[in-house]
């Protein structure tokens, strides 16, 4: 095994552990649940189609796709998230294959699926080109790919920008996740291997939080990347307090007040394309 392979395995292990922190399933089901059905509708899932959801988490796309009649495989690097989705699927009587897999090296043959999706998932694979190549490889010619990614200028993209000065430096060769939220980046990754690529920026209204403080504290408890940054500052209470203030300021700037709480709008890029 080469040093590069050893380093990559260690990086993936850290990613797997990060997404197991807190309760991402709560974020997916309580805060951004509408994204999955939006993506299923955008790619036009039909009964009987073979669909792969990459970086599926607990099934934000896989579950509604199965409800629509697709034959779904949900893959993710973090088995703890898949187990949460498996429980929901079992309770609903949905037949979904839940499989641990790396988005940059999917364990599926060429042309295996009619539809391939990822909802704020594959964007977090550290190496964008291999992940983009894999999405194309496993999708048959004429098949469809659908992605939802947070944009760099939207709220979640800005949250990552806010956390960046406090976080350990990224590993060599890793690309920033919100780049997937730029249409030009996706077009560059796929080039002429797709046709009919359509990209549009949309906004997800968020009304789950009653205050900016509640948002900040919720993400500190439940969202793996935020938890990881705070843990990296465990022996630096002054920097933890500064990050507290910066996240609070970010949320205040994005919040629209109302009597019973607040509303934020989180921007994402929705991309659909047909594989050549």
Pair 206, 264: CB distance under 8 Å:
yes
Supply the mean pLDDT for the chain: 96
Residue 233 lies in a domain: no
pLDDT at 129: 98
Task: Give the total number of structural domains in the chain.
Answer: 1
Q: What is the pLDDT of residue 237?
A: 98
Q: CA 15, 19, 21, 27: dihedral to nearest 10 degrees?
A: 160
Whether 213 is covered by a domain: the verdict is no
pLDDT of 118 over the 70 cut: yes
Name the residue range of residue 145's domain.
Answer: 3-208+264-275
In a domain, 255, yes or no: no
What digits encode the pLDDT tens for the residues 61-113? 999 999 999 999 999 999 999 999 999 999 999 999 999 999 999 999 999 99
- The arithmetic mean of pLDDT across residues 155-167, rounded, is 98
144 within a domain of the structure (yes/no): yes
Residue 43 CB-density burial (10 A; 0-12 exposed, 13-18 middle, 19+ buried): buried
Q: How many C-beta atoms surround the C-beta of residue 25 within 10 A?
A: 20
Indicate the pTM of the whole model: 0.96
With CA atoms as reference, report the closest residue to 102 among 150, 173, 54, 52.
54
What is the per-residue pLDDT for 36?
Answer: 98
Q: How many CA atoms lie within 13 A of 256 on its CB side?
A: 7
pLDDT for 3 beyond 90: no
Place 258 in a pLDDT band, splitting at 50, 70 and 90. Answer: low
pLDDT computed for residue 259 by the predictor? 59
Please report which confidence band the pLDDT of residue 161 belongs to, taking 50, 70 and 90 as the band edges: very high
CATH code of the domain containing 160: 3.40.50.150
Domain-located, residue 247: no
């Amino acid at each position: 095994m080469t040093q590069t392979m050893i380093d990559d395995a260690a990086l993936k292990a850290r990613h797997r552990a990060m997404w197991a922190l807190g309760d991402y399933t709560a974020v997916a089901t309580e805060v951004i649940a509408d994204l999955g059905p939006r993506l299923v509708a955008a790619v036009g899932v039909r009964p009987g189609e073979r669909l792969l959801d990459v970086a599926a988490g607990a099934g934000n796309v896989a579950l509604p796709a199965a409800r629509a009649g697709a034959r779904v495989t949900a893959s993710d690097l973090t088995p703890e998230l898949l187990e949460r989705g498996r429980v929901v699927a079992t309770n609903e009587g949905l037949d979904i294959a839940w499989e641990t897999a790396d988005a940059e090296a999917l364990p599926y043959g060429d042309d295996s699926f009619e539809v391939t999706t990822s909802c704020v998932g594959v964007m977090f694979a550290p190496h964008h080109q291999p992940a983009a190549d894999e999405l194309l490889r496993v999708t048959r010619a004429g098949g469809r790919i659908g992605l939802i990614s947070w944009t760099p200028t939207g709220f979640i993209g800005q949250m990552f920008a806010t956390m960046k000065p406090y976080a350990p430096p990224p590993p060599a060769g890793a690309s920033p996740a919100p780049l997937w939220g730029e249409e030009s980046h996706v077009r560059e990754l796929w080039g002429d291997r797709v046709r009919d690529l359509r990209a549009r920026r949309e906004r997800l209204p968020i009304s789950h939080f009653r205050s900016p403080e509640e948002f900040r504290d919720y993400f500190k408890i439940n969202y793996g990347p935020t938890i990881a940054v705070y843990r990296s500052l465990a022996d630096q209470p002054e920097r933890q307090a500064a990050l507290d203030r910066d996240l609070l300021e970010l949320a205040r700037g994005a919040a629209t007040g109302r009597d019973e709480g607040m509303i934020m709008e989180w921007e994402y890029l929705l991309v659909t394309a047909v594989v050549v």
